[in-house]
């Protein structure tokens, strides 16, 4: 059709313009800028605690952020349980049975009052941890997605953002259980999302090999980052909120700068041929911990793009990783049904 051809030409033209504009501001590369910096010394973390209790693959974990729960974390497993752990004592604070065992994500509210999870049931279930009678009950079931729930993150006790296999992300009002904003634009399943430190924006990574930066209040996509050659499985904000890190099935992680609107550096090694499943930056952003399909976690120096450590200890794929809010420890969850705390 003539119209399609014209539209495609226009789109290609605009893409070329964007590429040109990005080249204009590329007066140097990150490698050149950090040439004078010394590589971080070898990082050797040890397993301090092993959290045993799940009976099947662990798909997701999330640390608590509030000062009262900075040592607590929640994990979701396909044995149909959501477990809130006290990582210091390895005790289970709560073990929440789920209606659907096909869970793919979980999240801890910043206040520590709620946890959320979702998966192949296409719904995001919110649980109140601080119920009056001490029991943990379902508070809301947010149902409107037409695809699986791949990731969810709380903005506050009243708002949560979810990403789905139906190619959209949604901002929900938890009180009413309704959708406030739908963020559509991805052409493939949205696999992960991360909220900026100032809670004004969020980024999503999808199976269309791109990452998109969304403005929450304006409900629009601000920037799109491409470059990956396969599905983006994991995404995170650099701690100062000015850059984005993505991890993909193409075995690489990339750092994109938001202000320069382009890729700064790629974290890859010829010896790594398996996909990245999860990632987490350390508190300073100097280290990038990335979990891979080959059962290991590689620690990268984010500025020099070199590997400075490996966390080997799991007997199956590392599916999730997180650094605690005080930066004191990192937690890895695996398909071998164990979570390990390292520092």
Partner 1 sequence: MARDMSDIDILKMELEQLKKEVSTPREPVSKTSKDTMDWCEAASCTDLLITGVPDDKNPYKPEKGGWKNIMLYLHRNTWQTYCSYVSLFTGLKRLKLERRNRRDVH
Site residues (CB under 8 A) for partner 1, limited to 46-75:
48-49, 71
40 binds partner 1 (CB under 8 A): yes
Q: To the nearest whole angstrom, how small is the minimum distance from the Cβ of residue 128 to partner 1?
A: 28
217 binds partner 1 (CB under 8 A): no
Contacts of partner 1 in 130-159 (CB under 8 A): 147
Q: Among 136, 149, 303, 320, which residue interacts with partner 1 (rule: CB under 8 A)?
A: 303
Comparing CB distances to partner 1, the nearer of 111 and 282 is 282
Comparing CB distances to partner 1, the nearer of 96 and 303 is 303
Comparing CB distances to partner 1, the nearer of 22 and 137 is 22
Comparing CB distances to partner 1, the nearer of 285 and 333 is 285
| Stretch touching partner 1 by CB under 8 A, among 37-45, 51-59, 197-205, 244-252 | 37-45
Structure tokens, 183 = 């963020």
Q: To the nearest whole angstrom, how small is the minimum distance from the Cβ of residue 321 to partner 1?
A: 12
Beta bridge partners of residue 288, listed in sequence order: 281, 300
Comparing CB distances to partner 1, the nearer of 2 and 271 is 2
Q: Among 223, 233, 252, 298, which residue interacts with partner 1 (rule: CB under 8 A)?
A: 223
Count residues binding partner 1 (CB under 8 A): 74
253 binds partner 1 (CB under 8 A): no
Q: What is the SS3 string spanning the chain?
A: CHHHHHHHHHHHHHHHHHHHHHHHCCCCCHHHHCCCCCCCCCCCCCEEEEECCCCCCEEEEEECCCHHHCCEEEEEECCCEEEEEECCCCEEEEEEECCCCCEEEEEECCCCCEEEEEECCCEEEEEECCCCCCCCEEEEEEECCCCCEEEEEECCCCEEEEEECCCEEEEEECCCCEEEEEEECCCCCEEEEEECCCCCEEEEEECCCCEEEEECCCCEEEEEECCCCCCEEEEEECCCCCEEEEEECCCCEEEEECCCCEEEEEECCCCCCCCEEEEEECCCCCEEEEEECCCEEEEEECCCCEEEEEEECCCCCEEEEEECCCCCCEEEEECCCCEEEEC
Q: To the nearest whole angstrom, how small is the minimum distance from the Cβ of residue 86 to partner 1?
A: 11
Contacts of partner 1 in 154-213 (CB under 8 A): 166-168, 182, 184-188
86 binds partner 1 (CB under 8 A): no
Q: Among 118, 205, 247, 285, which residue interacts with partner 1 (rule: CB under 8 A)?
A: 285
341 binds partner 1 (CB under 8 A): yes
Structure tokens, 259 = 């202000």
Q: To the nearest whole angstrom, how small is the minimum distance from the Cβ of residue 168 to partner 1?
A: 5
Tell me which residue has tokens 């409900």: 219
Q: Among 157, 173, 215, 261, which residue interacts with partner 1 (rule: CB under 8 A)?
A: 261
323 binds partner 1 (CB under 8 A): yes
Contacts of partner 1 in 92-121 (CB under 8 A): none
């Amino acid at each position: 059709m003539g119209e399609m051809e014209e539209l495609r030409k226009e789109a290609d033209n605009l893409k070329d313009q964007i590429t040109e504009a990005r080249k204009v501001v590329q007066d140097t590369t990150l490698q050149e800028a950090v040439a004078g910096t010394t590589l971080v010394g070898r990082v050797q973390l040890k397993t301090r605690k092993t959290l045993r209790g799940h009976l099947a693959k662990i798909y997701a974990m999330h640390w608590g952020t509030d000062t009262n729960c900075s040592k607590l974390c929640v994990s979701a497993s396909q044995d149909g349980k959501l477990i809130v752990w006290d990582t210091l004592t390895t005790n289970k604070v709560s073990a929440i049975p789920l209606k659907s065992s096909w869970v793919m994500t979980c999240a801890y509210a910043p206040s520590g009052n709620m946890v959320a999870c979702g998966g192949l049931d296409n719904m995001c279930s919110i649980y109140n941890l601080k119920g009056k009678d001490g029991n943990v009950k379902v508070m809301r079931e947010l149902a409107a997605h037409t695809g699986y729930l791949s990731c969810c993150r709380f903005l506050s006790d009243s708002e949560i953002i979810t990403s789905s296999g139906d190619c959209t992300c949604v901002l929900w009002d938890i009180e009413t259980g309704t959708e406030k904003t739908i963020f559509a634009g991805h052409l493939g399943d949205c696999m992960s999302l991360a909220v900026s430190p100032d809670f004004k924006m969020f980024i999503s990574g999808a199976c269309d090999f791109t990452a998109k930066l969304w403005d929450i209040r304006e409900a629009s996509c601000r920037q799109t980052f491409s470059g990956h050659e396969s599905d983006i499985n994991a995404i995170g904000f650099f701690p100062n909120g000015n850059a984005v890190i993505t991890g993909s099935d193409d075995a690489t992680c990339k750092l994109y700068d938001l202000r320069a609107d382009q890729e700064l550096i790629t974290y890859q090694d010829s010896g790594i041929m398996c996909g990245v499943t999860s990632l987490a930056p350390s508190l300073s952003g100097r280290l990038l911990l990335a979990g891979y399909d080959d059962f290991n976690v590689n620690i990268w120096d984010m500025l020099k793009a070199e590997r400075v450590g490996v966390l080997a200890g799991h007997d199956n794929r590392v599916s999730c990783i997180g650094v605690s809010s005080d930066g004191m420890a990192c937690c890895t969850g695996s398909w071998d049904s164990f979570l390990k705390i390292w520092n």
